[in-house]
Amino acid sequence: MMMIRPFGDTGIDITPLGFGTWVLAGAGWQYSWGATDDDASIAAVRHAVATGLNWIDTAPAYGLGHAEELVGRALADIPEDERPYLFTKTGLIWEEGDDRSGPPRRVVRPDTVRRELEDSLRRLRVGHIDLFQVHWPDTGTRFAYGAEAEVGDATPLAEYWQAMADLKKEGKVRAIGLSNHAVAQLEEAEGIAHVDAIQPPFSVITRSAAPEVAWAHGNGTGVIVYSPLQSGLLTGTFTEERARGLGAGDWRASHPDFTTGLSANLALVDALRPIAARHGVPVAQVALAWALAWPGVTGAIVGARTAGQIDEWVGAGDLVLTAEDRAEIATAIVATGAGSGPARP
């Protein structure tokens, strides 16, 4: 039985690993991982629950609601008291007239927050959400990685966070959180209503959210990190050849992690291999255990397209790295120059 951890002050105890559904959302939308098979995706969700993972992370933006629909279908036949906690989000939307094959807008108006919640409840086939999170601060722009974006009206944090707090008071959601928000924004939100959880990107490559994790650690706020395997780079199976073969429908094909930063990232992965060998586990488990060992991190979101892929990393929830392991990883981070952020807490 996988150990569980208190999720901040929420009263929810979660397993160190949770199942992420971004990869299941299929093709035909911006930031897709490419085509998927719905039956295999449903089987993966059910297998994740069977292995003991007690929470699932999803969002309406993943496949224009398709990921949530798959989760709802996968859990429909599981007795309610055996179902995992469901975590979803709001704030990346395609409004009327938008080209839905293009990027969504960062919009967190009170009316869109409520609309997205009701749509998520319907797709997930549940009466409440265990954790409802804001994807990104509302900038009124198109969502983009490092590109110029269309400017629109932005909703102040105070307005959208109050809307989230109201939903919690109404019992529609059990806990509320912020993803991709900086410390100053977390402080502002905390003055309105407690930030139950944050969800930053965090891995042995992407370490720049360390200040936000530290803030959460000191404020009774749970932390679930996303992309702890850096979108496949830290699995130990990714190669330069595979990077060159990523299809046009795969968002990773043009991302710096898989292009200009690839050599340094793969060098860091190679440095993890001796540690994995000592523990008798795949490299992916070492990468996940590193993220889970960071003070303040409660859990890590990990995706998979098939049930078999889950078996490759699920053991990381019980893997404990030694002080020597962590020191060796810190040395490798500095030596390779991979990623950004502190090499150790």
* CATH at residue 161: 3.20.20.100
Is 109 a member of any domain?
Answer: yes
Torsion of CA 219, 135, 67, 176, to 10 degrees: 40
Is 328 a member of any domain?
Answer: no
d(CA 196, CA 166): 14
Q: Is 192 a residue whose pLDDT tops 60? A: yes
pLDDT, residue 25, reads 75
d(CA 20, CA 46): 13
Secondary structure string (H, E, C) spanning the chain: CCCCEECCCCCCEECCEEEECHHHCCCCCCCCCCCCCHHHHHHHHHHHHHCCCCEEECCCCCCCCHHHHHHHHHHCCCCHHHCCEEEEEECEECCCCCCCCCCCEECCCHHHHHHHHHHHHHHHCCCCEEEEEECCCCCCCECCCCCCCCCCCCCCHHHHHHHHHHHHHCCCEEEEEEECCCHHHHHHHHCCCCCCEEECECCCCECCCHHHHHHHHCCCCEEEEECCCHHHHHHCCCCHHHHHCCCCCCHHHHCHHHCCCHHHHHHHHHHHHHHHHHHCCCHHHHHHHHHHHCCCCCEEEEECCCHHHHHHHHHHHHCCCCHHHHHHHHHHHHHHCCCECCCCC
Is the Cβ–Cβ distance between 92 and 65 less than 8 Å? no
How many residues does the structure list for the chain? 345
Share of the chain above pLDDT 90, in %: 72
Q: Is 149 a residue whose pLDDT tops 90? A: no
Average pLDDT over residues 296-303: 97
Q: Structurally, how many domains does the chain consist of? A: 1
Residue 85 annotated among the catalytic residues of the structure: no
Is 145 a member of any domain?
Answer: yes
Is 335 a member of any domain?
Answer: no
Give residue-wise pLDDT tens across range 2-54.
789 999 999 999 999 999 998 887 776 666 666 788 999 999 999 999 999 99
Q: Is 338 a residue whose pLDDT tops 70? A: yes
More confident residue, 132 or 29: 132
Give residue-wise pLDDT tens across range 211-254.
999 999 999 999 999 999 998 899 888 877 887 877 766 767 77
Is 80 a member of any domain?
Answer: yes
Q: Is 145 a residue whose pLDDT tops 60? A: no
How far does the chain reach from its first CA to its final CA, in angstroms?
29
Output phi, psi for 278, to 5 deg.
Answer: -60, -35
Q: Is the dihedral of CA 304, 308, 312, 313 positive or negative?
A: positive
Is the Cβ–Cβ distance between 225 and 199 less than 8 Å? yes
d(CA 266, CA 283): 12
Lowest mean pLDDT among 152-156, 263-267, 310-314: 152-156
Model confidence at 201, in pLDDT bands (50, 70, 90)? very high
What are the tokens at 3?
């150990």
pLDDT, residue 49, reads 96
What are the tokens at 32?
């897709």
Is 209 a member of any domain?
Answer: no
Provide the mean pLDDT of the chain. 91
Q: Which of 186, 208, 210, 167 is nearest to 297 (CA)?
A: 210
Is 181 a member of any domain?
Answer: yes
Give residue-wise pLDDT tens across range 216-225.
999 999 999 9
Lowest mean pLDDT among 39-43, 101-105, 177-181: 101-105
d(CA 317, CA 301): 11
- Domain residues for the domain of 88 are 5-199
Model confidence at 84, in pLDDT bands (50, 70, 90)? very high
Active-site choice (62, 85, 160, 226): 62
What are the tokens at 100?
């839905």
Is 300 a member of any domain?
Answer: no
Q: Which of 189, 209, 175, 182 is nearest to 55 (CA)?
A: 175
d(CA 214, CA 225): 13
pLDDT, residue 150, reads 53
More confident residue, 274 or 144: 274
Degrees to nearest 5, angle at CA 338 with 337 and 340: 95
For the full predicted model, state whether its pTM sits above 0.75: yes
